[in-house]
Amino acid sequence: MRRPIVLVPACSQDKGSHPSYAAQNKYVDAVAVGARCQPLLVPPLGDNTDIESLLGIANGIMLTGAASNLQASLYGQETLDPSLPEDHARDETTLPLIRAALMHGIPILAICRGFQEVNVALGGTLHQAVHTVPGYFDHREDKSQSLEQQYAAAHRVKLEKGGLLAHILDGASEIQVNSLHGQGIDRLAAGLQVEARSDDGLIEAYSIAASPSFALAVQWHPEWRVEENHDSMRMFSAFGLACRVHRDRIP
C-alpha cells in the first residue's frame, strides 16, 4: 500500500551563486523513518503556491525548524534585532497553508519555527528574545559546541495530565528535551491547548483543540536522530498513524 504523502515546506536559501529552496535532511528523514510516510518538499512560493492542489494530495504536513524567524509585523510587533535572518517567502507560504490544512482536517506536526508559525497563523504572538524576558531561562544552544552537544537533552518539560502528548507518551508526566531556540510563545492563539511547559513556565508544546485530526506542535527538535529517542519515535509514529488514517479516508 502506498505511503501517506507528507508536505514539508522548504526554506529560502541564498548560499552560493544561485538562490535555492532547501530542507534539512534530519526533518525529511524523520518523516520517512519515524512516521513511515513519503515526504514531499514544498518550495516557498508565496502567492504562487497552489495550496488547494497541494492539499488535494497531502495526508499530512510537517513544519520544520529553520535558522530564520517569522516577520514580527505578522504578529503586530516591531523587529527587535534586524540582524537576525527572516524568510518572507516561507512566511507567505506556510501561514496560509496552515490555515487551509486545518480547514481540511489534515494532520499537522510542527517543530520549532513551525511551532511558532502555527501560533502566529492563528493569531498568537511571540517573544522575540526569550532570554531577555524576566523569569525565563536562556533557551538558546551554545553554537561553539558540537552538534551532538547542542542537540543533547537540555532541560525537562512537564506534560499536561490527560493531554494529547501525555497520551502519546504513555501517560508520562515529564520528559527531557533539547533546546535550540531564541524565540518562544508569548500569547497563545485561541483554540490552542497547552501540552507541555518548561520549568520557567514557557510553553513548549501545544495541540489544536478544534482540529478533527492530529495537530501537535513542539518547540524542541524531536527529529534529531529520531530513531535513537524513544519519545521522539512515539511522536512521529502517532503522526504517521494519523496520516495513514487520513489517506484511508480518501476514495
Q: Which residues are catalytically annotated? A: 112, 221, 223
Q: How far separated are the first and last CA of the chain, in Å rounded? A: 14
- d(C-alpha 246, C-alpha 109), whole Å: 14
- d(C-alpha 176, C-alpha 87), whole Å: 30
Q: Are 50 and 96 within 8 A, CB to CB?
A: no
- d(C-alpha 60, C-alpha 242), whole Å: 8
Q: What is the DSSP string of 106-151?
A: --EEEETHHHHHHHHHTT--EES-GGGSTT-------TTS-HHHHT
